[in-house]
Chains A and B, each alone.
Chain A
Amino acid sequence: MGLGRRDLLKLVGGGAAGFFLTPVPWRLIDGVAIRTESWPGVPDPPRGEVRAKYTTCTLCPAACGVRARCVVDQPVSLAGVASHPSSAGVLCPAGLCGHHLPLLPNRVREALARKGDKFQPVPVDTVAGAVAAALADMRQSGSAERVAVLDARPGRTASLLYRRWLRAAPNGMYLLAPSAEAAAPMGIDIERTGTVLSFGAPVLDGWGTPGRVLEARKSFRLIQVETRQSRTALMADGWLPIRPGTEAALALGIANVLIEEKLYDAGAARNASDFAAYAALAAQFPPQRAAQLTRIPAETIVAAAHDFVGHGPAVAIAAGDPGGGPLGEGERTAIAALNVLAGSIGRVGGFLPRGEAPRPAGFEEAALAPENAIAEAPDGSIRVLIVDDSRAVGTWCWSAIERKLAATHIVVAMTEFLEGAARHADFAVPAPAYLEAVEDAPAPPDVPAAMFSLAGALLKPPAQAVEGADFLNRVAGGGAALADVLKQRVASIHASRRGEVFHYADGTRTAVKDVKSADDLWKALEEGGCWIERQPGPRGKIRVAILGGAGDRVLEAAAGRLAADAQFPLALLPYGWRGAAGSTVSPIMSKLYQESDVRAGGDTIELHPDTAQRYGIADGEVAIVQTRCGSCQRRVRIDESIMPGVIQAEVGPSASGNCRPEALLNACGVAGDGTWRLARASLRRA
């Protein structure tokens, strides 16, 4: 009666059949699937009480209000603050993921010194000592060499400290990073604007204060002038696909129509000191000539001019691209001149003057080093360069600054990640990441009001992290700490009794004159608030110089930036996206690039099918882009929306999540005016 092999098989067979009629296999499949969510390596935030804390986003100059959902003290999700005076409850994707940044593995947590191609940890004081020794040597030798600070986020209180320190330093020079969105003396009254003529500005894709612009979108017409069919171009009321590098010619063509047909604001023109010279310049660009240069039909240019002033108030915006860098001075001047013709300077719905948060004593303009573009620094002149490009909103080309360095030099990068300028520096000093330090956020560049917000510290920074301004104090052996100067600035605002405070937590407002003490004002701002002061309105006539001595550069730009070149027949156009071009983003953001076609990705170029066919390149193949300055290798995406003869190259995170556009930007080369947005190129299959 023993069990034979066949018996055993029947028993097991019966068991197997029964097994599948029990819940066991289905429960195991479900349970294992759920278990995979908590495998080792998956971040596990602390458990505890959930609280809402409020702060201000400092990842870009938009300074949006942030509501942070914190478990114990750890922020686990970020959202916008409803009814915020400028951001209107909106946070961009980069802002929504901002709390991931301090946790990224490529954080710089200790000071690093370059040894050959690698970095080795050193104490921060060693770096400060090296800079101090170089400064002492410059003083002793009476050298004409310079010490410079390159600031990617101008307008902060830290920037004032940089500028004051440089005033006292030997040949100190304060440089604005080309990607910096510097505060202008005027903001745009976009809520009451009738028409926006944008020359390449990503108006609906992260420009200015995104929440404010999107909120106002329903009330203004948008004409987008851009070579590529960007997201803004797609959503605009009109898109003028322009030949690369001919924006100034189009601006002068439109100006010609407005002047010839007397459609301009004669009163505003009378307030311009050089209107006659400008009119003479515009007279050289009738619509037919502008059409030849821009490849936009003459009748379209005439219609655009009529459209521009026909639905006023109108503003023309000249903004660079976060990846492609700034427009040249010639283009900027030609485009800004349209605002004078439209009479939008100092007018409701146009550009309105705005003030600034009061500064503490000792920070008057005369006590500070002036602001300079990199191009203004003489080549080979900088002995000591401190780069503060943490949280830069756009990329910039290292070769633009490299040529300014003296033969013997020290470059110190104040940085959160070993990316960007830090990869070229002699020393990298850890800076507090977003949410790790109390800092201020100045008024967003587009807002026509004076604003000042504090971003409270929700997280602890690495032990060695030091603010750039405090690092300079270590170099100098003393000086006012940034935290103290911030408190002095808040006290100055309180003493001025101007403006009001918007409280993020409950959306209420309190007049500054009703705040009892400077400490109370500090507490209100640190716990989530912003100070705001709106100008009473347009005040009198504003006298302007349209060309401001830049007539030659306007003429040069209007002739077109790309000369014919048989060897390099294509136009290479780098472009990027604010928040992702050149800066580190959360892995959730790079997931967009990896798993969707929402963004092209930092390792691709885009071509029109005809261009690809001419060079024998198929979709998905790897191609080499060659220019006179260098080359880079990228995967090709074919897209019918690309202009024939143009190579579009996105500056942004690649599939690996890193954003290292050096090869592309070096291939573009930096022009004499510090721009790199356009280059002649050729293409071949790799």
Chain B
Amino acid sequence: MKNYRGSLLFVAGFACALSAGWLAFPRAEYERQNQPVQFSHKVHREKGGMKCEDCHAIREDGTFSGIPAVDKCAGCHASPMGTTDEEKRMIKRYIEPNREIPWLVYARQPENVRFSHAFHVKLAKLACERCHQAHGDSDSLPAFERDRVSGYSRDILGDNALPVAGRHPGMQMDDCIGCHQRRGVQDSCLACHK
């Protein structure tokens, strides 16, 4: 027994580290934050009859409208249209004081990156879901998972993050370069970093 004691202790330490690294760390790495308003794309699409482009459009000058400003919401929600507490809370907190909703953006890139939606959607014909998942059918917004170390969203890291079932491809520089290489797009630093 004494002969095996040392080996057992080594294996125990090894197993503990593996468990902590593969099971506990993935849960501790990300800080979950709820969005300031529980927005339902499904309700807006099905009951409101809205299309994606009503809020997320590429303008004629090539800029992307991104997430609409609170003015856009106020166009319909100046007073409650439904009966939910969430809508009333949004009107009181953001629309009445004309305060922008501090959305937590899953796809937010670093400041030194310039991403053109016009190039990727219009020229490269990439589907919105390639990066943003099928948000258009969701009834509520998923929690924003912020990496405690880097500060970026788990969606940016994608499969580069820890293996969690159902993650989609990431939006890190390696992902951009990989996709560009597969499609034969010429790369230069200034293409994205201006």
Contact = CB atoms under 8 A, between A and B. Distances in A.
Interface string A502-519: 000110000000000000
Given A10-B6, A10-B9, A11-B12, A69 B17 contact: no
A175 B12 CA distance: 86
Nearest to B13: A14
Nearest to A34: B150
A11 B151 contact: no
B13 A13 contact: yes
Contact of A13 (B10, B21, B60, B160): B10
A28 interface: yes
A473 interface: no
Interface stretch (A46-54, A209-217, A331-339, A574-582): A46-54
A27 B149 CA distance: 9
B63 A77 contact: no
A34 B63 contact: no
Interface string A132-171: 0000000000000000000000000000000000000000
Interface stretch (A18-26, A191-199, A434-442, A485-493): A18-26
A19 B22 CA distance: 10
A139 B7 CA distance: 102
A85 B100 CA distance: 40
Contact of A51 (B63, B114, B152, B161): B63
A31 interface: yes
Interface string A436-475: 0000000000000000000000000000000000000000
A18 B149 contact: no
Contacts of A123: none
Contacts of A30: 150, 160
Contact of A38 (B69, B100, B151): B151
A48 B69 contact: yes
B191 interface: no
Contacts of B64: 50
Contacts of A7: 5-6, 9
A14 B63 contact: no
B150 A22 contact: no
B110 interface: yes
Contact of B16 (A15, A49, A51): A15
B151 A34 contact: yes
B69 A11 contact: no
Contacts of A15: 13-14, 16-17
Interface string B1-44: 00001110111111111101110011001000000000000000
A22 B61 contact: no
Nearest to B190: A96
A30 B29 CA distance: 13
A37 B112 contact: yes
A17 B14 contact: yes
Contacts of A45: 111
A27 B13 contact: no
Contacts of B142: none
A16 interface: yes
A118 interface: no
B160 to A, nearest CB: 8
A21 B18 contact: yes
B138 interface: no
Contact of A18 (B17, B65, B150, B194): B17
A69 B63 contact: yes
A48 B7 CA distance: 58
A35 B151 contact: yes
Contacts of B9: 7, 10-11, 14
Contacts of B25: 22-24, 27
Contacts of A506: 60
B100 to A, nearest CB: 7
Nearest to A53: B61
B63 A32 contact: no
B104 to A, nearest CB: 11
A50 B7 CA distance: 61
A14 B11 contact: yes
Contact of B17 (A6, A19, A42): A19
A52 B64 CA distance: 10
A43 B112 CA distance: 10
B10 A49 contact: no
Contacts of B61: 52, 505
B62 interface: yes
A52 B194 contact: no
Contacts of A51: 63
Contacts of A373: none
A44 B60 CA distance: 28
Contact of B100 (A13, A35, A48): A48
A37 B193 CA distance: 13
Given A7-B5, A14-B12, A31-B149, A22 B63 contact: no
A34 B6 contact: no
A50 B63 contact: yes
Nearest to B20: A22
Nearest to B67: A49
Nearest to A25: B21
A629 interface: no
Interface string A256-300: 000000000000000000000000000000000000000000000
A28 B21 contact: no
A502 to B, nearest CB: 16
B5 A31 contact: no
Contacts of A6: 6
B178 interface: no
A212 to B, nearest CB: 22
B16 A18 contact: yes
A495 interface: no
A27 B28 CA distance: 12
A11 B150 contact: no
B155 interface: no
B162 interface: yes
A12 interface: yes
A55 B145 CA distance: 40
A19 B20 CA distance: 8
B80 interface: no
Given A15-B16, A32-B149, A27 B114 contact: no
Contacts of A19: 17, 21
Nearest to B65: A49
Contacts of B7: 10
B10 A11 contact: yes
A12 B13 contact: yes
Contacts of B151: 34-35, 38
A50 B105 CA distance: 14
Nearest to B69: A49
Contact of B22 (A11, A23, A43): A23
What 9 A-B pairs have minimum CB-CB distances, sorted nearest first?
Answer: A22-B21, A14-B13, A31-B149, A18-B17, A14-B10, A15-B13, A34-B150, A14-B14, A18-B14
28 contacts: A7-B5, A10-B9, A11-B9, A14-B10, A14-B13, A15-B14, A15-B17, A17-B14, A18-B13, A18-B18, A18-B21, A19-B17, A21-B18, A22-B18, A22-B25, A30-B160, A31-B149, A34-B149, A34-B150, A34-B151, A35-B149, A35-B150, A38-B110, A48-B100, A50-B63, A52-B63, A69-B114, A505-B61
Interface of B: 5-7, 9-18, 20-22, 25-26, 29, 60-66, 69, 100, 110-112, 114, 147-152, 160-162, 194
Given A10-B6, A18-B13, 7 more contacts: A13-B10, A14-B11, A15-B16, A16-B13, A22-B17, A69-B114, A77-B194
